[in-house]
Amino acid sequence: MAKNLVIVESPAKAKTIEKYLGKDYVVKSSMGHIRGIPSKSGSVDVAKKYAPTYEVDPAKSKVIAELKKDAKTAKTVWLASDEDREGEAIAWHLSEVLKLDPKSTKRIVFHEITQSALEHAIENPRTIDIPLVHAQQARQTLDYLVGFELSPVLWRKVRPQLSAGRVQSVAVRLIVEREREIEAHEVESTFKLTAVFKLKDGTELPAESPVKYKDAKAVHKVLEDFAKAGFQIATVDQKPGTRNPSAPFTTSTLQQEASNKLGYSPRLTMQLAQRLYEAGHITYMRTDSLNLSNQALGAMTDYIKKEYGEKYHQFRTFKTKSAGAQEAHEAIRPTNVSHTTEGADDQQKRLYGLIWRRTVASQMAPAQLEKTVVTISADNTKETLEAKGEMILFDGFLKVYGRSKEDVLLPEVKSGDTLTLISADAIENLSRGPARYTEASLVRQLEEMGIGRPSTYASTISTIQSRGYVERGDIEGNERDIIHLTLKTGKITEETEKFLYGRDSNKLFPTDTGKVVTDFLVKHFAEVMDYDFTKDIEEELDDIAEKKKDRVQVLDDFYKPFHKLVEASADISRAEATQTRHIGDDPASGLPIYARFGRYGPMLQKGESGEDDDPKPTFAPLPKGSTIENVTLEQALEAFKLPRIVGQTEDGYEMKAAIGRFGPYVLVNSLFVSIKPPLDPFTITEAEARELYIAKVKAEAEKNISDFGEGIRVLNGRYGPYVTDGKKNAKIPKETDPKQITKEQAVKMLAEAPDKPKRFRRRKP
């Protein structure tokens, strides 16, 4: 056995490190966390200073056994997990589970996987940073307490299986409040005036008015003046300008730029960056720092001067906005600037290229620009138009980072030149509320407000979508009429055009679940949902890591008032929590109709519930595009027309159209047949329903190869034929004909099939 055992988190990282360390070192992976706080009640003992109960991940038992064996025979054990809260906690858990001597166990950290970085780490070991571990434990405990005390409140008052999180719930609140701002926005109409002129040499010059006109009457008056006017160049204003490069990437800015430029989600960006780091191509990707090492700065200086020339180089340092306990020593950069392309696949290569360009550009000269504004005047009105252009005189850092827009070149003109108006257009613009968040802009907002950690944003955004509080997608918008005025050959024409107002693509918007839960938490757990409180918690975690505050005191300050709110929530009525709204009465029966939040989400209810003498209420899903807040009585009455009898199948079975939890369907003798657009449950005909039913019966027949009774069947699945009893599946070997399998063979296959492994569930940050 080698003298030295180095333990890291991932196999990929271990493989890269092995290339640099000699034969005296063996590098093994812990495969991430080896234990954590189990996801069950009572895992944190509040009475005993918030002592957590840790449970070893059952899936890691083999890994732990091997590490214990290797640790016993190694002269020195080196714990080489990442240098942040999670990495320090992994190192501490390893030392506890493997029963390592803290005096002889060495903790090493590095921010890039290179020969020099590893040698420096080996030469400068330290012990485990216990205050940093305490900060991670405090964060994990806080999240556990919020989840396991607040989530059951949501189960009782709103809907089962809902969850609350210290950071995720605040992130959802941001999206809900933005949506409410958009809904409350009052549309204002203005007109934008553009024109195209012709110079004496026939060259065209586009221009627009710097003024927005409030109504069609005002802009019509301007066009009338323009129809009779002569035009000339009033002024030509040319000013030099510069454009400077941005700082190198931090975790947050990398997620934002990868989203904007490459279309990557924050989660995908972090996964790709992790692989690039573990392969030794970039420095550690969880960092708030803008610093670059002297070695990296020197290498970039040499590279830029050699590849582009001395005039392209400009030395820069960037000041980090705030230092935190998780801040690494450097920004995200390539480990070797001369490697312009790295990565195991195209996605990694594109992200690496973005990091390389941003880092190199940060040490390059600014771009030199010339900005031109040409003012055009009319001889019979004070109204003016402007033509704007921008020309890049020296590309500087844009040579590697690329231009955000191409040069806008204007023709050569001078003051006093006369122009001929070719045409002018005035198009009505409808104002919109604030923009919905994209994943990138939500990351930026969270960082600016100090909510959570940039390293957790990817998982937070993924979680709020997977749990149904937020959706990412397109908003169809509503068709609106707008006015378009045109001046051409001295005549003004006015047309009404159709415009899709409110259309949005690839944006985050809250579901009804997200709105109801947010409103409930803001009203009854205001402190947990407070933006400043959430920010302050992050600062207090930093204080724990820096020995400025005690872990137990920080937890006490949060938990004691929080627990009182949980206890007081018992008096909250379910009707209040679910935002039950009376929208009117059914004209036919006189029964009240409510929009409310039910077990499976928002729904409509006709009739009262809970009274023995009252008839049993009926329910219907909310119409598409409506919410609890805005659904109308007319829409509700239409929704209650379902289920409707469509007709009969050829063999006499009744066909009933309805909308269920998973969308519209036709029900035939306990068989559910999905209704897909453009078909609609309100209008589907008997012939259309029959066609869907016949196709479904055929598909089910092809799926069922054999049925032996007692739930044992041979089926065609997505990945091939298999045997099932409804609880357990057994794969059928390729050489076996599934049609020839007997019941005895099927029972034997099921008995020999492995049980599904139990998942070790640990609460994520």
Q: Residue 450 corresponds to which tokens in the numbers above?
A: 């100090």
Q: How far is CA 421 from the centre of its chain?
A: 48
Q: How far apart are CA 457 and CA 461, in angstroms?
A: 6
* 1: its two tokens: 């056995």
Task: Say whether pLDDT at 176 is over 60.
Answer: yes
- Count CB atoms within 10 A of the CB of residue 736: 12
C-alpha distance from residue 290 to each of 134, 159, 333, 583 (Å): 26, 44, 10, 55
pLDDT in tens, 549-584: 999 999 999 999 999 999 998 888 887 787 788 999
Name the strand (E) or helix (H) holding 252.
helix 251-257
Which stretch of 39-53, 372-386, 590-604 has the lowest confidence by average pLDDT? 590-604
Res 310 pLDDT > 80:
yes
* pLDDT exceeds 50 at position 764: no
Model confidence band, residue 326 (pLDDT cutoffs 50, 70, 90): very low
Q: What CA–CA distance (Å, rounded) separates 56 from 283?
A: 31
Give pLDDT, residue 161. 82
Stronger pLDDT, 433 or 615, i.e. the higher one? 433
Sheet of 4-8: strand order equals 25-29, 4-8, 76-79, 106-107
Q: What average pLDDT score do residues 423-427 get?
A: 96
Provide the 10 A C-beta neighbour count for residue 339.
11
Domain range 4-128, its CATH number among 3.40.30.10, 3.30.300.30, 3.40.50.140, 3.40.50.720? 3.40.50.140
Residue at token pair 């190198």: 248
pLDDT of residue 507: 94
Tokens 């234990």 found at: 35
The yes-or-no verdict on residue 591 having pLDDT over 80 is yes
Token readout for 511 is 């579901």
Looking at residue 134, its amino acid is H
The reported pLDDT for the residue numbered 325 is 37
Q: What is the mean pLDDT of residues 143-154?
A: 91
- Residue 364: how many CA atoms within 13 Å on its side-chain side? 31
Q: List pLDDT tens digits, range 231-281.
A: 999 999 999 999 999 999 999 999 999 999 999 999 999 999 999 999 999
**Average pLDDT over the chain, rounded to whole?**
90
- When pLDDT is averaged across residues 475-501 and rounded to a whole number, the result is 92
Task: Give the pLDDT of residue 765.
Answer: 36
pLDDT for the residue numbered 2: 64
- Is 284 a residue of the active site? yes
pLDDT band (50, 70, 90) for residue 125: very high
Architecture (CATH level 2) of domain 130-184+439-463+511-577: Orthogonal Bundle (1.10)
Contact (CB, 8 A) for 6 and 78? yes
Identify which of 133, 55, 162 has the alpha carbon closest to the alpha carbon of residue 761.
55
Among the listed residues 284, 594, 693, 722, the single catalytic one is 284
Tokens of 242: 């510069």
DSSP code of 32?
Answer: S
Tell me how far apart the alpha carbons of residues 114 and 107 are, in angstroms, rounded to a whole number: 18
DSSP-derived pairing of the beta strands 25-29 and 4-8 = parallel
Query: Which CATH number among 1.10.290.10, 2.60.120.10, 1.10.357.10, 3.20.20.70 corresponds to the domain 251-365?
Result: 1.10.290.10
Residue 177 backbone dihedrals phi, psi, to 5 degrees: -65, -35
Q: Please report the pLDDT score of residue 684 as a whole number.
A: 94
Check if the beta carbon of residue 549 is closer than 8 Å to that of residue 566: no
CATH 2.30.110.10 fits domain 189-244+368-430: no
Alpha-carbon span 644 to 652, nearest angstrom = 17
Q: Determine the pLDDT at residue 629.
A: 82
Mean pLDDT of 732-754: 88
Question: In Å, how far are 120, 173, 574, 614 from 610, measured between CA atoms?
Answer: 72, 32, 12, 8
pLDDT of residue 247: 95
Band the pLDDT of 159: cuts 50, 70, 90: confident
pLDDT digits (tens, 9 = 90+) for 629-685: 889 999 999 888 888 999 999 888 999 998 877 788 999 988 999 999 889 898 999
pLDDT for residue 322 is more than 80: no
Please state the separation of Cα 258 from the chain's center in Å. 12
Res 570: pLDDT: 86
Q: How many CA atoms lie within 13 A of 294 on its CB side?
A: 0
* pLDDT tier for residue 612 given thresholds of 50, 70 and 90: low
For the residues 163-172, what does the mean pLDDT come to? 92
Is the dihedral angle over the CA atoms 563, 567, 571, 572 positive or is it negative?
A: positive
Given a cut of 50, is residue 64 above it in pLDDT? yes
Torsion of CA 692, 695, 698, 699, to 10 degrees: -100
What are the sequence ranges of the domains in the chain? 4-128, 130-184+439-463+511-577, 189-244+368-430, 251-365, 580-639, 644-704, 710-752
pLDDT: which is higher, 94 or 403? 94
